[in-house]
Amino acid sequence: MFLSRRDDYPLDQMIDVASGRTYADLVLKNANVVNVFTGEVTPGDIAIHGPFIAGIGEYFGNEVIDLKGRYVAPSFIDGHVHVESSMVMPIQYARAVVPHGTGAVIADPHEIANVLGMEGIMYMSKSMRGGPLEFYMMLPSCVPSTDLETNGVSLDFLDIKPLMTEHYVLGLAEAMNYPGVIYRDPSILEKIRVAIGMGKRVDGHAPGLKGLDLNAYVAARITSEHECVDIEEARSKLARGMHIHIREGSTAKNLKALAHLIEPHTAEFCSFVTDDRNTLDIMTKGHIDSMIREAIEYGIDPILAIKVATLSTARHYGLQYTGAVAPGYHADIVVLDSLEKINVEMVYKQGVLVAKDGKMVEEFGVEQQPRLRRSVNIHYLEPEDFQVKVRGELMNVIGMIPDQIITERLIEEPKVEDGLVVPDIDRDIAKVAIIERHNASEPRSVGFVKGMGIKEGAMVSSIAHDSHNIVAVATNDKDLIHAAVQIVRMQGGIALAKDEKVIESLPLPIAGLMSDQSIEHVSEKLKDLKTAAHKLGTPLQEPFMAMAFLSLPVIPKLKITDLGLVDVDRFRLIDLFDVPT
């Protein structure tokens, strides 16, 4: 168990150790210290006393480790993440990211909140405390994200206000209902007032917003943005005073486009975030360390990239004495083999070695599954539920964009058989369906999507941002129903069906979002699922993440919820055959 960040600082002892009058508990000798304040590398010893850094220079300690010129940097911080998107419980998530040098994350439990409300938030809060990873929380601002879908629960400012007083709660999470902010929706403005009144941050989420509307959004004291997809948008929002979260998730990959936003005069206003990255990606590609490496490959100075991943994020969120290797700071540090490869050899939390050579020093067991209420409740499914009668010569189709969660609004001719619109495999047009799963009510909708690449069978999941109803992409209705029924049996998860048989599945019984198994088990199952999905024809590297964002009605341009197709630009539901003339 690690100390709370609010524990008293041993002032007298720290002064004695820092001045060299008293031995340090631990000395890391012969280090090359990455100074994120000056952009320099300084040789010296690092004196650690208890959970804090006492000084850098020449020191003696009760324990001495010779680093032989290795580089020491602050441990990394993920500035915006939904832990639920890893598909594992928080302690298993920590086991995945800590060996990669991540010491802290700013977590938004928005996904589980949309399913279970405060019950879900309190579960995440309890599970995040006291482990090898420092969890901070931003409280969800939009539950539900819009009124264009059915979710599990609604939260208002009275629900979240008591938690705002907690020291680990840093503010209000992404205000994704940006039209609600601009047009003064009382429900979202009241939450913003609560956060601001308590001296907390408000995170943003406003893809494509510009001009006077952007001014209005920022005037509400919304201070960050993680939805920029090109550098012009990022620079525009940076110029309005927004802190730019550069994102590289499993599906939304923006680092390449935004890397050169990082310059000496802008680095302090940028952070690295993963937002939504599954466990398989973390285990195989890395976490924030992978973003630093990639930024360096794009020509960014290594120390600037490390500053973005550490001090810049800490300063933005008001995390005092975090994000640097300096006297008085928390001894949350990483030992690197070089500044080019960013290979993390050792990770210290509060002066304790917690990971070495890519593995945890002390292993953590699998958490017991929490006692949360049943979250997958589906009304009886009939094949007729998913039939679409032709009502026009043209229809709206969701167009996928590679490596992005934004979509296009395409106008296509429907393929018709016996008066019904059916998937057109030759044109890569599959059926997409959303099934309400919270209340066993009947809302469900059917549309079509182009770009998933599926040629047979069906893929179904209970991960569907943000309300997490059941999402299905299918070439036929029978396989769709078989996979959907498997989701109910598992009480959440991912299922693939072909020839009216379930061919692969992953149970996610915790709110239909997370497994109760280990990171290793979930990673292997994700590999099996991706292999099976590719056999169904999809070429996408992250087909399940891509599928999950088809239902997110706050990301342009065309999405689908259980209530129907959503024209995000106009923020309203439209008919499948309601095409522009």
The two tokens of residue 27 are 């000395």
Sign of CA dihedral 140, 145, 150, 156: positive
In tens, the pLDDT along 349-360 reads 999 999 999 999
What's the rounded Cα separation, in Å, for the pair 191 and 156? 7
Residue range(s) in the chain whose domain bears CATH number 3.20.20.140? 77-317
What residue has token string 């050579």?
357
Query: Do strands 429-435 and 470-474 pair parallel, antiparallel, or not at all (unpaired)?
Result: antiparallel
- DSSP codes of every residue in 182-232: HTT-HHHHHHHHHHHHTT-EEEE--TT--HHHHHHHHHTT--EE----SHH
State residue 2's pLDDT score.
65
Q: Give the model confidence (pLDDT) of 140-177 as tens digits.
A: 998 888 889 998 888 988 999 999 999 999 999 999 98
Query: What residue type is assigned to position 578 of the chain?
Result: D
38 by DSSP, 3-state: which? coil
Contact assessment for residue 411 and residue 429, using Cβ atoms and an 8 Å cutoff: no
AA letter at 73: A
3-state secondary structure 275-338: ECCCHHHHHHHCCHHHHHHHHHHCCCCHHHHHHHCCHHHHHHCCCCCCCCCCCCCECCEEEECC
Q: What's the chain's length in residues?
A: 581
Average pLDDT over residues 40-50: 97
> What is the overall mean pLDDT for the chain?
94
**Distance (Å, whole) CA 312 – CA 77:** 9
Instruction: Return the minimum-mean-pLDDT range out of 129-133, 328-332, 424-428.
Output: 129-133
The residues facing 172 across adjacent strands are 139, 202
- β partners of residue 32: 43, 71
367 falls in which pLDDT band (50, 70, 90)?
Answer: low
Top pLDDT among 269 and 131 is at 269
Cα dihedral across residues 123, 125, 129, 132: positive or negative:
positive
- pLDDT tens digit string along 60-102? 999 999 999 999 999 999 999 999 999 999 999 999 999 999 9
Please compute, for residue 285, the number of CA atoms within 13 A of its CA located in the half-sphere on the CB side.
17
DSSP H or E stretch at residue 415 = strand 415-417
The predicted-structure confidence for 468-501, as pLDDT tens digits, reads as follows 999 999 999 999 999 999 999 999 999 999 999 9
Per-residue pLDDT band at 4 (split at 50, 70, 90)? low
CA torsion sign, 283 to 288 to 290 to 291? positive
Q: What is the pLDDT of residue 255?
A: 97
Residue partners of 536: CB distance under 8 A and separation at least 6: 454, 455, 456, 457, 459, 496, 498
Residue 368: pLDDT over 70: no
Instruction: Given CATH 3.40.50.1010, say whether it is the number of domain 77-317.
Output: no
Q: Residues of the chain with pLDDT > 70: what percent?
A: 98
Nearest Cα neighbor of 84 from 269, 219, 221, 275 is 275
Strands 134-139 and 429-435: unpaired
Backbone Cα Rg of the chain: 24
